[in-house]
């Protein structure tokens, strides 16, 4: 089968190359999925570039130990392993191969087929294309966990989303609205109308105004950019407010790892972090929101599998408005 393999670190167009590998087989508790679409996420371009550099100690000093990128998947069940219930060949599904460990995946989804843990799959949302379903997985679940579980957003609260036009940000704006919040999105001039179109009550153009300098106070700030120090963002919190950090920041040496570690260990100034958990429960909660129309998927661009390097480079540019998606031949 065709897959995208990475044998070195560097520019995505140069290191993410098409390869032929043997078809995988599902083990106990696993499902073999014929991939129809996958989507690009921050861990994919970080892994291609090999940054933050310190992570190479765990993922491979000169080249990545895991060769295939991608964790989001939408496709059709091809086979199921022993002890799998709830899925059968022919079912349309979406989910993730993400392990939560350093490096993120053991079986990448930038391929024609991939094996996925059954507990990290759900039936594809009705009415969505495979491209839309794949695009929703990591970004949608991350935003859901950050706002529903970590920040525990409630109706009537004021929520600010920094980086509102990116993959996670667009989901976060919509999910905060679905939870009943008054939402302010922060983005550049070219994305103001996009952020407003997904439901933001207010939009701050950061090229004109810094949210950190305003008088408004928020119950929740979700920072997907980390272009302000967390201590600066925390100044716009209302009493008892929560700052959720969801960004790598400068990705080179340590990136945001020290900040994230400080937040996780000491909950400094009400700072919090979130960790993506692609459980079936989370996927089904997201599916319900997508099927109801409370949340929609915004896709920036779609590339064929063979152009994975270009797709990842586009994501790495941080200029994508919404999700970048890969498709395989149907």
Contact of 95 with 121, CB cutoff 8 Å: yes
Q: What is the pLDDT of residue 59?
A: 77
Inter-helix orientation angle 280-292/130-144, to 10°: 110
Burial class of 227 by CB neighbour count within 10 A (0 to 12, 13 to 18, 19+): middle
pLDDT in tens, 22-73: 999 999 999 999 999 999 999 898 889 888 787 787 778 888 888 899 999 9
Is residue 39 classed as helix, strand or coil in its secondary structure? strand
Residues 285 and 219: their CA atoms lie apart, in Å, by 24
The pairing of strands 237-245 and 218-223 is parallel
Which residue segments constitute the domains of the chain, with CATH numbers given? 2-136+278-327 (3.90.180.10), 138-273 (3.40.50.720)
pLDDT in tens, 63-111: 888 889 999 999 999 999 999 999 999 999 999 999 875 455 568 999 9
Q: 207: which 2 tokens?
A: 């090229």
Helix%, strand%, coil% for the chain, nearest 5: 35, 25, 40
Phi first, then psi, for residue 300 (nearest 5°) are: -75, -50
Query: Does the structure show a pLDDT above 70 at 263?
Result: no
Q: Name which of 135, 131, 130, 99 is nearest 115 in CA terms.
A: 99
Q: What is the pTM of this model?
A: 0.93
Q: Cα(first)–Cα(last) distance of the chain, in Å?
A: 14
pLDDT in tens, 138-187: 999 999 999 999 999 999 999 999 999 999 999 999 999 999 999 999 99
Bridge partners of 244? 222, 272
Q: How many CB atoms lie within 10 A of CB 238?
A: 14
Cα 230 to chain centroid distance, Å, stands at 21
């Amino acid at each position: 089968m065709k897959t995208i393999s990475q044998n070195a670190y560097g520019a995505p167009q140069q290191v993410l190359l098409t390869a032929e590998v043997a078809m995988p087989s599902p083990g106990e508790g696993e499902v073999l999925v014929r991939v129809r679409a996958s989507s690009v996420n921050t861990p994919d371009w970080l892994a291609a570039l090999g940054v933050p550099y310190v992570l190479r100690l765990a993922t491979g000093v000169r080249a990545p130990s895991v060769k295939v990128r991608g964790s989001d998947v939408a496709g059709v069940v091809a086979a199921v392993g022993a002890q799998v219930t709830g899925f059968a060949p022919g079912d349309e599904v979406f989910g993730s191969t993400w392990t939560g460990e350093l490096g993120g995946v053991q079986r990448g989804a930038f391929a024609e087929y991939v094996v996925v843990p059954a507990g990290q799959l759900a039936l594809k949302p009705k009415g969505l294309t495979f491209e839309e379903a794949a695009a929703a997985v990591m970004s949608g679940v991350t935003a859901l966990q950050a706002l529903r579980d970590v920040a525990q957003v409630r109706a009537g609260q004021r929520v600010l989303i920094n980086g509102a036009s990116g993959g996670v940000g667009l989901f976060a704006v919509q999910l905060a609205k679905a939870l009943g919040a008054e939402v302010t999105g922060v983005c550049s001039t070219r994305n103001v109308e996009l952020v407003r179109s997904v439901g933001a009550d207010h939009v701050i153009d950061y090229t004109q105004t810094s949210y950190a300098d305003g008088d408004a106070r928020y119950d929740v700030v979700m920072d997907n950019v980390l272009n302000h120090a967390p201590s600066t963002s925390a100044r716009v919190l209302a009493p008892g407010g929560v700052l959720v950090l969801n960004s790598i920041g400068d990705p080179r040496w340590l990136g945001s790892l020290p900040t994230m570690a400080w937040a996780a260990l000491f909950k400094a100034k009400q700072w919090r972090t979130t960790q993506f958990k692609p459980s079936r429960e989370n996927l089904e909660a997201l599916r319900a929101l997508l099927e109801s129309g409370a949340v929609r998927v915004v896709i920036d661009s779609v590339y064929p599998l063979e152009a994975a390097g270009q797709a990842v480079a586009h994501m790495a540019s941080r200029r994508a408005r919404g999700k970048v998606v890969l498709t395989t031949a149907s």
